[in-house]
Chain A
Amino acid sequence: LAKTTQPISMDSYEGQEVNITCSHNNIATNDYITWYQQFPSQGPRFIIQGYKTKVTNEVASLFIPADRKSSTLSLPRVSLSDTAVYYCLVGFSGGYNKLIFGAGTRLAVHP
């Protein structure tokens, strides 16, 4: 059964590094892992995307092990404005590209 699993919530403090892991055992061979950020009353916003190993951009890093059954979003030195819900999105084989979002991780950053 195609499923994407991530922690329901996390707490952190300003200036710390935050790592959020998503499990996706049945990821399709050719599909990417994508992370989104969502603030209240807004649609999700793209953060980062990767296929394997490590990807880094100006806001985050994404670590993907060789078996690709999980991925970890890393947010360096979080601030209060990083308080949001974070979703991973994975494609699974299923007749057509089957897109499954995780249920989201609610990150609370405290002063």
Chain B
Amino acid sequence: DVKVTQSSRYLVKRTGEKVFLECVQDMDHENMFWYRQDPGLGLRLIYFSYDVKMKEKGDIPEGYSVSREKKERFSLILESASTNQTSMYLCASSLGRSLSNQPQHFGDGTRLSIL
């Protein structure tokens, strides 16, 4: 069974801090994704990566960056955290080149609060 592990379930940081959210998958998947989930808005794609060192912006990349130095690990970085980045962050992975034709496997999320 695919396992996607996010390093923290809950995180509290202060405005202006640089924040790192880590995600690891154990199934050698090519694609990895970062979403944020907010009430009434569903899941919105921040960034995705289809290979090591490759990344593409999603719908809401502003204020975020990502890093994928190894195939199994995908990091989301908040360069200077702001209160409007308080949210649930979900990492996912999927197999193969096509982004929509393979099921995504999700971690259980990191609830991030920016004070």
Whole-angstrom distance from the CB of B26 to the nearest CB of chain A? 15
Chain A, 81-111, contact with B by CB distance < 8 Å: what is the 0/1 string?
0000001011100001111111110000000
Residues of A within 8 A of B106 (CB): 36, 43-45
A25-36: CB near B (< 8 Å → 1, else 0) gives 000101110101
Do B99 and A43 touch (CB < 8 A)? no
- In this complex, how many residues of chain A approach chain B with their Cβ under 8 Å: the count is 26
Any chain B CB within 8 A of the CB of A46? yes
Taking CB atoms, residues of chain B closer than 8 Å to A36 are: 104, 106
A43-B90, A45-B106 are contacts. A90–B42 as well, Cβ < 8 Å?
A: no
Contact with A along B23-50 (1 / 0, CB 8 A): 0000000000101000011111100100
B108 and A42 within 8 A (CB) = yes
Contact of B101 among A31, A44, A101, A104 (CB under 8 A): A31
Asked whether any CB of chain A lies closer than 8 Å to the CB of B68, the reply is: no
Q: Which of A30, A44, A91, A98 is within 8 Å of B43, CB to CB?
A: A44
A97 touches B100 (CB 8 A): yes
- B100 with A32: CB separation less than 8 A: yes
Cβ A91 vs Cβ B99 within 8 A:
yes
What's the least CB distance linking A46 to chain B, in Å?
4
In the assembled complex, how far is the CB of residue B6 from the closest CB belonging to chain A, in whole angstroms? 8
Cα distance, A45 to B43, chains bound together (Å): 13
B-side contacts of A91, CB under 8 Å: 99-101
Residues of B within 8 A of A28 (CB): 100
6 smallest beta-carbon distances between A and B, as pairs: A43-B106, A91-B100, A46-B103, A97-B99, A103-B42, A101-B43
Which A residues fall within an 8 A CB radius of B? 28, 30-32, 34, 36, 41-46, 49, 87, 89-91, 96-104
